[in-house]
Amino acid sequence: DEQYDPRAVQDRWQARWAELDPFKAAGDDRRERRYALDMFPYPSGDLHMGHAEAFAIGDVIARYWFQRGHDVLHPIGWDSFGLPAENAAIKRDSHPAEWTYANIDTQAASFQRYAPSFDWSRRLHTSDPEYYRWTQWLFLRFYERGLAYRKGGQVNWCPNDQTVLANEQVVGGHCERCGALVERRTLTQWYFKITEYAERLLQDMDQLEGNWPERVLLMQRNWIGRSEGADVEFAVEGRDEPVTVFTTRPDTLYGATFFVVAADAPLADEICAPEQRADFEAYREQVSRESEIERLSTEREKTGVFLGRYAINPVNGERIPVWASDYVLAEYGHGAIMAVPAHDQRDLDFARKFGLPVQVVVETGEPDPAQTGIATAGEGRLVNSGPIDGLGKREAIGRITEILADKGLGRAAVNFRLRDWLVSRQRFWGAPIPMIHCPSCGEVAVPDDQLPVELPADLRGADLAPKGTSPLATAESWVNVDCPKCGGAARRDTDTMDTFVDSSWYYFRYCSPDYTEGPFDVAEVRRWMPVDQYTGGVEHAILHLLYSRFFTKVLHDMGMVDFTEPFTRLLNQGQVINQGKAMSKSLGNGVDLGEQIAAHGVDVVRLALLFAGPPEDDIDWADVSPHGMTKFLARAHRVATEVEAASGTDPAGGDTALRRVTHRTIDEVTTLVESHRFNVAIARIMELVSAARKAIDSGPGAADPAVREAAETVAVLLSLFAPYTAEDAWSVLGRQAPVARAGWPVAEPALLVEESVTCVVQVAGKVRDRLEVPPGIAADELERLALASERVQTALGGAEIRKVIVRAPKIVNIVPG
Ligand code: ANZ
Ligand code: ZN
């Protein structure tokens, strides 16, 4: 048909599929189960090119499993709490729900058209009370286990969004969302004790090795940041209790020439001598305005103040001055360090700035750090170090740790960079924290039977404007409650949860989305989980994936699930860029998905994205050829049409050469899809279409059964990538919709064996042997095979060979001498 139009094909089938609903997860015990999960979208507007890429990849995987006859769970839902909805509501004087659910409807309609193989019956939205009831329920379980707690302290504060941020949400000192420079504030907030799981989060990565992208594992490892070393106790003059420091280099203890306390740590305030107090307080004030990134920067000039005190080095009794500085962080280790300027660059910078002594204790062969300003961090022998002189680094660390332990002045220690997860937010559009503050009972959990604590219905528009405290605090009738314990007047907690709490467990909910007895039906989770394949953006390499892994381990410890890792395999798709750059308004290089689909049709867009390269690579839309894809789909469709028109006219035996191509294609595409090399798989299907075309035009013709076999195979293989065209071709061929459940073709082994020809071997003109050889065999290889033949050797009877004439692949003639 000359009129093949991908958009018309699409309209024809979309309605039909809505009736057929072919992608329901069955819960059928006789079939292998598979769980294909895509990172659920945030309803920020309509779907964009990034969604198109990610969901095309996840869809190919799910559709392949459907074709294999597995029982597949491929759900969709929305991560629908969050700030953008709130900001939109303020701007439009409306409720965040209006914007949120309108966008969800838009995205849902676009998904229906884009044709991912979802089980729509499991749809969920994290902002539905029936969902966040269980988010709150989980919070309470965490609370009971001591994993949710409130504490005062320094937090990251976004002055623009007027709310606190988790450490993970601060990127390079800026708010991950709005880009504002993050400030530090002292506030009382709720935390999840993820640090209690640090070791397991690290260890269980062994299960993910090889199945998750290496760079994601590396980022998680770095974020968790495990350091081995020792805690060492230093007496401080004028203080009863010793002060502990964490060091990864206890071997350098004899080189400690001064001591530094974090300027914002309570310890600095406590030990500061009276004559230094004014200087110290001025300095501390200055530090309070700095971000963590600034503080840790190695480029900045070091700053600090002497605290007017001395610490005593526990191994040699030396008095060393105690300083306060910003390069030591209050929340890491013990908030204080022993400074070894010879072997630590930050300490050396500080020593040079303030004229403090530098003492080399490791002989590395490099020039003197006091002269060069470059600390020597390499391996070497210990010097000037009493009992550990002459030892190498490793032995010295072991020995000095023993000495300290014997004297009760230290011990081996492990430190993690990971901090507890700050989960409270001073914003409206999130799950309210289900706690009550009572003047007499203190913190009281909302009883389970009073969940969900729904958001107050009457706040909207300007009520939600950021003011540094939660908008919920202004809803008086909502805030004031009776204490569940004593019945007295009490107040609700007015913060809401970080939306990363919502997304840490949604994939459990998909297993039983309407379950009313708990967050999920344990039996259903046992059936479906862990997730076999998770697809989504690398921007979630730390936050979402780390939090989800943490939640899964807590649920495991609660006895609710029997596995410890939620996502067996992870794929991070590349970005869709344009003209070599990320799409952006300012560059004007944005590509609109809706426009592309209107111009070319869904199948062309999906195919173009999948054919552009391996799924992990970025796709430059400028290099993509929708036109080429349209031509290919039309060719594939035309083969089906011609086969159908010719069918019944000539039942002659199928052409073996074409059958070989078909079955080799099946075999290769299977392997390629399983290893996620979709672009190559599509190239193979293109080759099969060309082979079928050639068979029609200059071979056995469209009526040959091998051509029909090729056309049907193309339809099924193509159903993963270009589902509408595949469906239409399938129907043209007279087959029953949906092609998506037609069943994956199986390659016939006999047709995969390389073709062979019979080679006749003659000795002195007489046929002595016949060899089966590949048609393309090289002459010297054929000669070798012929001479190796036992029959030939017998015929020769040890005679000399005068000449061997080879006519590959058919004849070898051996002439004895
Ligand atoms: C003495 C020393 C000598 C150190 C040396 C290093 C090299 P990681 O690997 O990140 O765990 N440190 C300890 N607590 C700190 C804090 N609160 N703020 C800033 N720095 C802190 O680093 C551990 C090392 O960082 C520790 O080992 C300590 O310096 C410093 F040649 O102690 B070290
Ligand atoms: Zn009370």
* CB of 609 sitting under 6 A from ligand 1: no
Distance 246 CA to ligand 1 centre (A): 7
Nearest residue by C-alpha to atom 10 in ligand 1: 227
Distance 494 CA to ligand 2 centre (A): 17
* CB of 247 sitting under 6 A from ligand 1: yes
pLDDT range class, residue 755, cuts 50, 70, 90: confident
Distance 248 CA to ligand 1 centre (A): 6
pLDDT tens for 200-239 read 999 999 999 999 999 999 999 999 999 999 999 999 999 9
Which DSSP state fits 432?
B
| ipTM for this model | 0.98
Nearest ligand to the C-alpha atom of residue 483: 2
Query: Has residue 796 got a pLDDT over 70?
Result: yes
Nearest atom in ligand 1 to 327's CA: 19
Query: Has residue 651 got a pLDDT over 80?
Result: no
Considering only 98-102, 195-199, 651-655, 751-755, which range has the smallest mean pLDDT?
Answer: 651-655
Distance 147 CA to ligand 1 centre (A): 28
Distance 378 CA to ligand 1 centre (A): 15
Mean pLDDT throughout 86-107? 95
Q: How far is CA 482 from the centre of its chain?
A: 43
CA distance to 60, 235, 582, 727, per residue, from 619 (Å)? 17, 60, 10, 27
pLDDT for res 648? 64
pLDDT for res 307? 98
Mean pLDDT throughout 301-325? 97
Distance 445 CA to ligand 2 centre (A): 11
* CB of 634 sitting under 6 A from ligand 1: no
Nearest atom in ligand 1 to 330's CA: 17
pLDDT range class, residue 14, cuts 50, 70, 90: very high
Nearest residue by C-alpha to atom 19 in ligand 1: 328
Peptide bond preceding 651 in cis form (omega within 30 of 0): no
pLDDT for res 652? 58
* Distance separating alpha carbons of residues 326 and 300, to the nearest angstrom: 11
Residues 150 and 188: beta-carbon distance below 8 Å: yes
- Tokens for 690, please give them: 């060309």
* Distance separating alpha carbons of residues 718 and 149, to the nearest angstrom: 53
Mean pLDDT throughout 320-324? 98
Mean pLDDT throughout 644-649? 79
Burial state string for 703-717 with b = 16 or more CB within 10 A and e = fewer than 16? bbbbbbbbbbbbbbb
Considering only 434-448, 636-650, 667-681, which range has the smallest mean pLDDT?
Answer: 636-650
Phi, psi of 674, rounded to the nearest 5 degrees:
-65, -30
* Distance separating alpha carbons of residues 261 and 322, to the nearest angstrom: 7
Percentage of the chain surpassing pLDDT 70?
99
Distance 150 CA to ligand 2 centre (A): 18
* CB of 684 sitting under 6 A from ligand 1: no
Distance 200 CA to ligand 1 centre (A): 23
* CB of 244 sitting under 6 A from ligand 1: no
Which of 500, 492, 421 lies closest to 151 in space, CA to CA?
421
pLDDT for res 181? 87
For a pocket test of ligand 1, which of 228, 246, 313 has the largest count of ligand atoms closer than 8 A to its C-beta?
246
Burial state string for 250-274 with b = 16 or more CB within 10 A and e = fewer than 16? bbbbbbbbbbbbbbbbebbbebbee
pLDDT tens for 433-451 read 999 999 999 999 999 999 9
Nearest residue by C-alpha to atom 11 in ligand 1: 227
* CB of 344 sitting under 6 A from ligand 1: yes
* CB of 340 sitting under 6 A from ligand 1: yes
Nearest ligand to the C-alpha atom of residue 261: 1
Is residue 230 helix, strand or coil? strand
pLDDT range class, residue 299, cuts 50, 70, 90: confident
Distance 153 CA to ligand 1 centre (A): 22
Nearest atom in ligand 1 to 343's CA: 31
Phi, psi of 143, rounded to the nearest 5 degrees:
-60, -45
Sequential DSSP letters for 109-127: HHHHHH-----GGG-EETT
pLDDT for res 294? 75
Mean pLDDT throughout 306-329? 96
Which DSSP state fits 446?
P
Phi, psi of 379, rounded to the nearest 5 degrees:
-75, 155
* Distance separating alpha carbons of residues 526 and 523, to the nearest angstrom: 5
* CB of 361 sitting under 6 A from ligand 1: no
Distance 491 CA to ligand 2 centre (A): 10
Nearest ligand to the C-alpha atom of residue 440: 2
Query: Has residue 364 got a pLDDT over 60?
Result: yes
Nearest residue by C-alpha to atom 14 in ligand 1: 333
Distance 338 CA to ligand 1 centre (A): 8
pLDDT tens for 258-288 read 999 999 999 999 999 999 999 999 999 998 8
* CB of 415 sitting under 6 A from ligand 1: yes
pLDDT for res 1? 45
Q: Which residue has the higher pLDDT, 457 or 430?
A: 430
Mean pLDDT throughout 656-666? 94
pLDDT for res 650? 59
HEC secondary structure over 378-408: CCCEECCCHHHCCCCHHHHHHHHHHHHHHCC
pLDDT tens for 208-218 read 999 999 999 99
pLDDT for res 679? 98
pLDDT tens for 120-153 read 999 999 999 999 999 999 999 999 999 999 998 7
Query: Has residue 469 got a pLDDT over 50?
Result: yes
